[in-house]
């Protein structure tokens, strides 16, 4: 079936009648993952602020927040606008803001009548924000970004700039310094749980340390935000934190599986593909999910080189088919090497498979919607907000 | 400036006022590349059927065809529908068709009142097409796909199946076997011009050989189609071919540059990005173009490992800035290692750069439009048709 993105989704159909490639989301698995993480947050007495960069979908966000419709994280201002317009409040845009984006922030805030929570780690941006706010009347809510060891965004918690930035912001009219945040992106760089536990503790102590720097001079620090899927799952203490931000856990993927963060049967996302060719000279099947439908991300392969660009599964049952994987991708072709010719009979041209993706975020980003599966029936079509 | 995709493009603005990340297309370079390839096709007396999978844009396709609005190649049925509705005729969908896509083909053909040219390499697909056509009245135009050595799609020109498939199709009502096609995708797998010349000759002789197989038994073969950017540029003979299909030449990229196929100054596409952070502990700049805005494709790096995820250039002049590149990407962050701290002064937080992409096709695919530059002025916004 051709799913015209312009048309409403009216039919209840089975997976076998879908056209391909299609991004499939298993509702049961999504709900299980979301529920498990919400429960852990409750047990730890901490707010879970899901990072919606993975799903970019209001419907997924409703599941992730358990209907709370508040306190979410986004990776683009376009997402911030979309989720705020979909009714979500307390939206954190977790990429360092720069002055050339102030106009867009102001437009969003005017449209949705709420402030977007922004992050910064730079004196000049703080100074420019104060000037901009004075000139335009635009309100800003900020967190200061702390570098807990990944050395991407942020400044060290003991860097004198933490206080310098804070002092610029606290006295400015229309500006609220709400707290501090960090992200241990390097927690994805290991498959050793002991090492993740250490990184989680570094993440916690660095951002809690920064909050103490502020409070010691009488600057309030309402929000102390950290988090990634691995550090939330394996962190031993959340003391001093007010919230954790995790993203990929809603879908999981083979990159997380390769690091021991999830089981294969937790992975909620897959790409439905059709076998479009048999190349008997090369001993390969070709499917219509290639570099675009799967992405060229190979995050899993450090720990599981056999993942290639994804594992091949039965389209209906999601059981893995032998050890088949997608070994090579071109724009719209994926190449699946086979060990023996019986696969040509088992997977004739025109038959369908599902591919468990290497990394859920980039795989999903090529698709503008999800096909929602519930007990193997297609029940909905959920849009995504891609791009910038 | 925030470019709302829903709004018409009304303002003439300068690049410095753009929000980021943005996909920038230099009109002069595009026109030069398109013109050069059209001239070569004219000189060789062969039709150039541009592959629009790179641009996915009707406006780029108008430039590529020199306004001819006919004979183009696409990689998805969604592109086929889009370009046909934009007024292009003779659209070749160059991925093996399967029966689950016949309904969509029929819908497009009914809507646009023209047949899409399809490819196949499989007896069962040919048989099913005949049945489907009899049952629904749907007309089909086909080329048989030949494998010229890449071992992706297609069958060997001397495979008896070439004739078997042809015989199934030629006698069927409403079905036209229009000819044969091949693609030397392996021409991208070398930086040796001599090797490309050999591959181009393999590409030509294999598909011309298949055309002879058909003609020898009295089956007409109107179209004998081959091509890739490298084999079109370096092929020594096009005898027996009726057309060549090239895609990436309209934009070029560092993957083509790394193989000696283009000069840096031919590259028409770039990503405008903002410096969003300085990490002095790690000696890196962070920009807001990461894995999504640039893609994780590293096709150039086999021959030029220094490309990383792209070269950093001056936002206005496009001159390369030192040897700076994007070495690491996260979803919305690109990391740019610097050799000395003076770069922190030369590229302050909030300043802009442009990134020459590693591989133009996946980089462009993350963006839903191009910002068109003409002599450093923004003159238009051209949409793309992504997804399926």
Q: Does A6 touch chain B (CB under 8 A)?
A: no
Q: Exposure pattern of A278-300 as b/e (b: 16+ CB <10 Å)?
A: bbeeebbbbbbbbbbbbbbbbbb
pLDDT 10s digits, B132-184: 999 999 999 999 999 999 999 999 999 999 999 999 999 999 999 999 999 99
Q: Does B348 touch chain A (CB under 8 A)?
A: yes
Rounded CA-CA distance B44/A327 in Å is: 37
- pLDDT at residue B5, as a whole number: 39
Q: Exposure pattern of A69-97 as b/e (b: 16+ CB <10 Å)?
A: bebbbbbbbbbbbbbbeeebebbbbbbbb
Higher-pLDDT residue of A149, A15: A149
Rounded CA-CA distance A154/A131 in Å is: 22
Rounded CA-CA distance B98/B120 in Å is: 8
Q: Does B107 touch chain A (CB under 8 A)?
A: yes
Over pLDDT 90: what percentage of chain A? 94
Residues A230 and A259: beta-carbon distance below 8 Å: yes
Parts of chain A belonging to CATH 3.20.20.10:
27-249
Rounded CA-CA distance B263/B256 in Å is: 8
When the pLDDT of each residue in chain A is averaged and rounded to a whole number, the result is: 95
Residues B304 and B297: beta-carbon distance below 8 Å: no
Q: For residue B2, is pLDDT > 90?
A: no
Tokens encoding B113: 């009142």
Tokens encoding A163: 């206080």
Parts of chain B belonging to CATH 2.40.37.20:
13-23+261-383
Higher-pLDDT residue of B8, B26: B26
* Topology of the domain covering B13-23+261-383: Lyase, Ornithine Decarboxylase; Chain A, domain 1 (2.40.37)
Strand partners, A89: A70
Rounded CA-CA distance B335/A153 in Å is: 10
Residues B329 and B319: beta-carbon distance below 8 Å: no
User: pTM surpassing 0.80?
Assistant: yes
Q: Of all helices (H) and strands (E), which one includes residue A131?
A: helix A123-136
CB contact under 8 A, A124 and B350: yes
Q: Does A387 touch chain B (CB under 8 A)?
A: yes
Rounded CA-CA distance A338/A264 in Å is: 22
For an interface test with A, the pick among B347, B350, B357 (most A C-beta atoms closer than 10 Å) comes out as B350
Q: Rounded to a whole number, what is the distance in angstroms from the first to the last CA of chain B?
A: 30
| B27-250 has CATH 3.20.20.10 classification | yes
CB contact under 8 A, A366 and B348: no
Rounded CA-CA distance A179/A260 in Å is: 32
Q: Does A364 touch chain B (CB under 8 A)?
A: no
pLDDT 10s digits, A35-69: 999 999 999 999 999 999 999 999 999 999 999 99
CB contact under 8 A, B349 and A277: no
Place of tokens 């966000």: A61
For an interface test with B, the pick among A105, A350, A369, A385 (most B C-beta atoms closer than 10 Å) comes out as A350
Please tell me whether residue A65 adopts helix, strand or coil conformation: coil
Q: Does A293 touch chain B (CB under 8 A)?
A: yes
- The Cα of B130 is separated from the nearest Cα of chain A by a number of Å equal to 15
What string of DSSP letters covers A277-293?
A: EEETTTTEEEES--HHH
Tokens encoding A80: 């911030």
What is the ipTM for the molecules in this complex?
Answer: 0.95
CB contact under 8 A, A153 and B279: yes
Parts of chain B belonging to CATH 3.20.20.10:
27-250
- pLDDT at residue A15, as a whole number: 80
pLDDT 10s digits, A325-366: 999 999 999 999 998 999 999 999 999 999 999 999 999 999
Place of tokens 């990776």: A75
Q: Does A21 touch chain B (CB under 8 A)?
A: yes
CATH number belonging to the domain at A27-249, selected among 3.20.20.70, 3.20.20.10, 3.90.226.10, 3.30.70.580:
3.20.20.10
Q: Which of residues 144-163 of B touch A (CB under 8 A)?
A: 147, 151-154, 156
Chain B residue with CA closest to A366: the answer is B387
- Reported residue count of chain B is 388
Rounded CA-CA distance A281/A296 in Å is: 25
Compute the C-alpha angle B46/B49/B53, nearest 5°. 155
Q: Is the peptide bond before B278 cis (omega within 30 degrees of 0)?
A: no
DSSP character at residue A116:
P
- pLDDT at residue A100, as a whole number: 95
Place of tokens 């084999």: B231
Place of tokens 């620090």: A221
pLDDT 10s digits, A311-322: 999 999 999 999
Q: Which of residues 171-200 of A touch B (CB under 8 A)?
A: 185
- pLDDT at residue B13, as a whole number: 65
pLDDT 10s digits, B258-278: 999 999 999 999 999 999 999
How far are the Cα atoms of A74, B109, B129, B188, B345 from residue B105, in angstroms, in the given order?
38, 6, 11, 30, 56
pLDDT 10s digits, A278-289: 999 999 999 999
Closest CA to B328 of A234, A299, A306, A259: A299
Task: Compute the count of residue pairs across chains A and B with CB atoms less than 8 Å apart.
Answer: 183
Give residue B37's Cα distance to chain centre.
14
- The Cα of B43 is separated from the nearest Cα of chain A by a number of Å equal to 30
Contact list in A for residue B365 (CB cut-off 8 A) is 292, 366
How far are the Cα atoms of A335, B50, B58, B63 from residue B54, in angstroms, in the given order?
20, 10, 12, 13
Q: Does B124 touch chain A (CB under 8 A)?
A: yes
Q: For residue A3, is pLDDT > 90?
A: no
Rg of the Cα atoms in chain A: 22
Compute the C-alpha angle A222/A71/A45, nearest 5°. 65
Rounded CA-CA distance A253/B285 in Å is: 29
- pLDDT at residue B16, as a whole number: 79
What string of DSSP letters covers A134-178?
A: HHH---EEEEEEE--SS-SS-B-TT-THHHHHHHHHHTSTTEEEE
Q: Does A127 touch chain B (CB under 8 A)?
A: no
Kindly indicate the confidence band of residue A9, based on its pLDDT and cuts at 50, 70 and 90.
very low
Contact list in A for residue B284 (CB cut-off 8 A) is 151
- pLDDT at residue A63, as a whole number: 98
Place of tokens 């939330």: A232
CB contact under 8 A, A96 and B20: no
Strand partners, A225: A181, A243
Chain A residue with CA closest to B105: the answer is A2
CB contact under 8 A, B152 and A333: yes
Rounded CA-CA distance B273/B160 in Å is: 54
- pLDDT at residue A95, as a whole number: 98
Closest CA to A104 of A130, A126, A132: A132
Q: Which residues contact A242 (CB under 8 A, 6 or more apart)?
A: A46, A47, A179, A222, A223, A224, A225
Tokens encoding A87: 């009714």
Chain B residue with CA closest to A123: the answer is B349
């Amino acid at each position: 079936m051709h799913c015209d993105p312009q048309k409403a989704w009216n039919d209840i159909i089975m997976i076998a009648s879908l056209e391909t490639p299609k991004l499939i989301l298993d509702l049961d698995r999504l709900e299980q993952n979301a529920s498990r993480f919400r429960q852990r947050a409750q047990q730890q007495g901490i707010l879970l602020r899901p990072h919606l960069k993975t799903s970019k979908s209001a419907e997924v966000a409703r599941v992730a927040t358990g209907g709370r419709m508040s306190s979410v994280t986004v990776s683009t201002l376009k997402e911030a606008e979309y989720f705020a317009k979909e009714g979500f409040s307390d939206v954190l845009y977790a990429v360092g803001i720069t002055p050339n984006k102030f106009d867009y922030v102001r437009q969003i805030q005017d449209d949705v009548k709420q402030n977007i929570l922004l992050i910064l780690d730079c004196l000049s941006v703080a100074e420019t924000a104060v000037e901009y706010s004075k000139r335009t009347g635009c309100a800003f809510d900020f967190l200061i970004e702390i570098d807990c060891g990944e050395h991407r965004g942020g400044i060290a918690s003991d860097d004198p700039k933490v206080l310098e930035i804070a002092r610029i912001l606290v006295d400015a009219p229309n500006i609220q310094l709400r707290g501090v945040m960090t992200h241990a992106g390097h927690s994805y760089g290991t498959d050793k749980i002991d090492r993740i536990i250490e990184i989680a503790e570094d993440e916690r102590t660095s951002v809690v340390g920064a909050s103490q720097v502020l409070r010691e001079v009488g600057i309030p620090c309402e929000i102390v935000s950290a988090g990634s899927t691995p550090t939330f799952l394996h962190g031993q203490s959340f003391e001093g934190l007010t919230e954790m931000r995790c993203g990929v856990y809603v879908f999981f993927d083979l990159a997380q599986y390769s690091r021991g963060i999830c089981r294969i049967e937790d992975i909620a996302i897959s790409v439905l593909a059709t076998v479009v060719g048999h190349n008997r000279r090369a001993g390969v099947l070709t499917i219509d999910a290639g570099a675009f439908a799967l992405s060229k991300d190979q995050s899993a392969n450090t720990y599981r080189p056999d993942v290639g660009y994804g594992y091949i599964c039965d389209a209906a049952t999601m059981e893995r088919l032998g050890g088949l994987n997608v070994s090579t991708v071109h724009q719209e072709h994926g190449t699946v090497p086979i060990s023996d010719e019986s696969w040509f009979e088992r997977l004739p041209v025109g038959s369908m498979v599902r591919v468990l993706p290497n990394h859920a975020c980039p795989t999903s980003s090529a698709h503008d919607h999800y096909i929602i599966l519930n007990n193997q029936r297609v029940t909905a079509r959920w849009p995504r907000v891609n791009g910038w």
